[in-house]
Amino acid sequence: MELKATSLGKHLAQHPYNRVRLLSAGVEVSGQKHEYLIPFNQLLAIRCKRGLVWGELEFSLPENKVVRLHGTEWQETQRFYHYLNQAWQAWSQQMSLVAADVLQQQAASLHEFGQQDKWLKRHEAAQWREAILETFSALPLPVARLEEFDCCREAYLFCQRWLENSEAQRRQRNAQWTEKMLAQHAEFFASVETSPLSASQAEAVVNGEDALLVLAGAGSGKTSVLVARAGWLLARKEAAAEQILLLAFGRQAAEEMNERIQARLNTSGLQARTFHALALHIIQQGSNKSPVISELESDSEKRQKLLIETWQRQCSEKKAQASGWRQWLQDELGWKLNEGAYWQDAALVKKLGGRLERWLELMRMHGGAQAAMIESAPEEVRELFSKRVKLMAPMLKAWKSALKEEEAIDFSGLIHQAIAVLEKGRFISPWKHILVDEFQDISPQRAALLAALRKQNSRTSLFAVGDDWQAIYRFSGAEMALTTAFHHYFGEGDSCVLDTSWRFNDRIGEIANAFIQQNPSQLKKALNSQSKGNKKSISLLPESQLEALLNKLSGYVTREERILILGRYRYQQPTLLNKAKTRWPELNIAFSTVHASKGQQADYVLLTGLKSGEEGFPAPARESVIEQALLPPPEDFPDAEERRLAYVAITRAKKQVWLLFDSDNPSSFVTEFKRMGVPLLRKP
């Protein structure tokens, strides 16, 4: 059956289409030069319109396309439309039954998915979105028509809601499931640690994303969350002990974690390891070798002796090298050098030893050949960096020779070898869940080891607990961006915040939180305190008043309470402490550098050394081109890491903090604390 435009209508309409023909499951619209086939499964609507003289048929298609036929005799147009519409609707009713069956199966799968007793992950929701789109593409009817049919409407709208609001649906469903888990397993969360977990801690434990960052502020119970997370995976049978990898950054932290796990979870099958212990295990299992760790890694005195002797020999034997080192130390770092054989100066040697260790460690962490190391440096420093690398080359050569003589390996080489073993497929990771403590301290090299493990199994989850506010180890290669841009590096997932500190009172928290968040690079988060303080919970006090302060503390501080004196540098330990045991025998006083105090706490904290200048706090930037080229770039904010260091110092305290400053040459931080309302005391 077909419909044609009249001769006059064809002439006056001047339209590309003048004939339409009904097919078995579609229509063919054609003209002298054009032809358009419209299957019923692409047809959204048919409209029959009457003009002043002739009729018009209009066919609506997807993507707002419209095909029109003009100039047909009106009664013929009506008749053709009647038969066409009848045929189209009959076909549509038949196809709607097929579509309804497919949609109902998809809706049932979605409902079953939503009812699972587990956390619904982002990637799972994405897979279901793809499944829905695949289902829609397999339907015999256009998706835009599905609401027209009673048998399709409910299932279609259910699928469409998932498609349009899958993330909101997923979040809502996970919130309901979390609430159910916290109630159903209330006894577990109350007893897994010595104190019941808070709501935010418990919510972090049950969050099942593949990549989860738990931002754990100072004193918020991050270790409790790690222990509880391991316990939760075991209790829910989501993993056996040997399928959980728990990582810490230092041996002491790993040992403390193991003690907690043994005490709280009563299992010996789960052991926390350091990254180096992990790397050693991978190499042993994947290559049947058992590398020996060089004594140089554990013996700082031996390490510095090797480097200094190599440096002195280099300077004494080669004038060009001696000249190059003079230019580096004198012109770039501003150090004062003796005329003549400056490399024999004992004071200079003592000052340089630590620097040589750090520069060599950064070069070893890079791991590549010197040419590749130079090529990877920023262009603006590449030429100077190349000169410095060549000056360091004898130290690197001496280090490698010492390792060869020992038949040993260093820590950086250990991780590089482990990554190589993983990439060659010689070790297959057994771990379904990786839990990492103090994640803000992670370096690109360690991150690469995690990535290599997860690459073997893309469904290996990463549960990272850390605090970018306490990222204070950039000088040793840690990169804060691996935390602040966590999902960029480790894939889509979620983040949550432990929002309560059980350590310090709300006054200390108020000042510390406001101070750290002056830097816009720090992640914003709320950190509330359980205890109340007063205006003098944190005070500024001249450093000359230290003895008077300790005298006062001796009048009311008990033997069980701890006093921690902190300094930016180890040599800042007050000489007054030499007589503390006899002068204040009842006081429990200790000194620590701020870096070493990380992880500690005390009832009272005295932060010393708040002065400006070369040995001040904040310390002036003293990076050479080696650090500029090999360390992660610093944030574009003044004294960013020094600010975090001050935050760490302040948040060691439970009850009270005194900020001891140089009255003649106060630190810039003192001005800022005054502006924030920290009281300035003349005496304790």
Give the pLDDT score at 680: 96
Rounded mean pLDDT, 224-253: 94
Give the pLDDT score at 458: 78
Rounded mean pLDDT, 8-25: 79
Domains assigned to the chain: 1-183 (2.30.29.30), 185-292+425-501 (3.40.50.300), 295-408 (no CATH), 520-675 (3.40.50.300)
Q: What is the pLDDT of residues 183-232, one digit of tens each?
A: 999 999 999 999 999 999 999 999 999 999 999 999 999 999 999 999 99
CB 434 within 8 A of CB 460: yes
Q: What is the pLDDT of residues 150-197, one digit of tens each?
A: 999 999 999 999 899 888 889 999 999 999 999 999 999 999 999 999
* Averaged pLDDT of the chain: 93
**Is the predicted pLDDT of residue 334 greater than 90, yes or no?**
no
Cα dihedral sign, 668-674-678-684: positive
Give the pLDDT score at 13: 59
Rounded mean pLDDT, 356-380: 88
Q: What is the CA radius of gyration of the chain?
A: 36
SS3 73: coil
SS3 303: helix
- Say if strands 588-593 and 562-567 run parallel, antiparallel, or are unpaired: parallel
pTM: 0.87
Cα dihedral sign, 371-373-374-376: positive
Q: What is the pLDDT of residues 647-682, one digit of tens each?
A: 999 999 999 999 999 999 999 999 999 999 999 999
Q: Give the Cα separation of 207 and 174 in Å (integer).
A: 9
**Is the predicted pLDDT of residue 457 greater than 90, yes or no?**
no
User: Largest alpha-carbon pair distance within the chain?
Assistant: 120
Residue 129, CA atoms < 13 Å, CB-side half-sphere: 15
DSSP secondary structure, 238-272, as one string: SS-GGGEEEEESSHHHHHHHHHHHHHHH--SS--E
Amino acid identity of residue 393, one-letter, is: A
Q: Give the Cα separation of 111 and 97 in Å (integer).
A: 21
**Is the predicted pLDDT of residue 318 greater than 90, yes or no?**
yes
**Is the predicted pLDDT of residue 438 greater than 80, yes or no?**
yes
Give the residue carrying structure tokens 């060659």.
424
Give the pLDDT score at 12: 63
Give the pLDDT score at 11: 62
Is the backbone peptide bond immediately before 574 cis, with ω within 30 degrees of 0? no
Rounded mean pLDDT, 81-88: 96
Rounded mean pLDDT, 82-110: 96
CB neighbour class for 28 (10 Å; exposed up to 12, middle 13-18, buried from 19)? middle
Confidence of residue 17 (pLDDT cuts 50, 70, 90): confident
**Run of H or E residues at 351:** helix 346-366
Q: What is the pLDDT of residues 270-287, one digit of tens each?
A: 999 999 999 999 999 998
Give the pLDDT score at 290: 87
- What percentage of the chain carries pLDDT values higher than 70? 99
Token reading at 626: 């080696």
506: CB partners within 8 A, 6+ apart: 528, 529, 531, 532, 533
Give the pLDDT score at 9: 62
Read off the DSSP letter of residue 118: S
Q: What is the pLDDT of residues 528-574, one digit of tens each?
A: 998 999 999 999 999 999 999 999 999 999 999 999 999 999 989 99
Q: Give the Cα separation of 601 and 564 in Å (integer).
A: 8
